[in-house]
Amino acid sequence: MNTHCLFCKIIAGEIPVDKLYEDDDVLAFRDIAPQAPVHFLVIPKKHIAGPAFLEAEDEQLVGRMMRTGARLAADLGLVDGFRLVFNNGEGAGQTVFHIHLHILGGRQFHWPPG
Ligand code: AMP
């Protein structure tokens, strides 16, 4: 746990969230500022500052994040598709420096993203 990290505080239960799923390794909750009708985040309980800080031992954990996101997307009825996003670094729009997978759905998405 990083005591200055917002998402570590959420994992510790210090900040309430609209939780969708939790196990020993990951937590999924709805984004507080949704950018689509469905927008939630999947985060690891291990503090990792972002994708650029992943180590070899984290590869299985990232797979767990992806599978959890895809399963929840199906549970939430996102049958037409969904967008998965990892922002890395301020230039890419990362604002919380605890790695997180955005899952967005329920509207049409465009490419390239903004
Ligand atoms: P990023 O910009 O990729 O770092 O994404 C961080 C995301 O965390 C943003 O989409 C925020 O809306 C979301 N967020 C920040 N604080 C909270 C919170 N307390 N509960 C849920 N989502 C949050």
Q: Which atom of ligand 1 is nearest to the CA of 15?
A: 19
Q: State the pTM of this model.
A: 0.98
In the reported structure, the alpha carbon of residue 59 is separated from the centroid of ligand 1 by a whole-number distance in angstroms of 23
88: nearest Cα among 63, 53, 55, 64: 53
Residue ranges making up the domain that contains 97: 6-105
Question: Tens of pLDDT along 2-36?
Answer: 889 999 999 999 999 999 999 999 999 999 999 99
Task: Copy the structure tokens of residue 69.
Answer: 């996101």
Whether residue 113 is contained in a domain is answered as no
Half-sphere exposure of 84 (CA within 13 A, CB side): 15
For residue 55, tell me if it sits in a domain.
yes
Q: Quick check: 58 and 17 in contact, CB under 8 A?
A: no
CATH of the domain at 84: 3.30.428.10
Examine residue 28 and state whether it is found in any structural domain, yes or no: yes
Phi, psi of 61 (to 5 degrees): -65, -40
Cβ neighbour number for residue 41 with a 10 Å cutoff = 23
Instruction: Answer yes or no: is 62 within a domain.
Output: yes
pLDDT of the residue at 1: 82
Structure tokens at 23: 């196990």
Which pLDDT tens digit goes with each residue over 24-83? Answer: 999 999 999 999 999 999 999 999 999 999 999 999 999 999 999 999 999 999 999 999
- Mutate-to-test residue for ligand 1 from 14, 31, 100, highest number of ligand atoms within 8 A of CB: 31
Q: Any residues with Cβ below 6 Å from ligand 1, and which?
A: 6, 15, 17, 29, 31-33, 87, 93-96
What is the mean pLDDT of the segment spanning 84-101? 98
Amino acid at 103: I
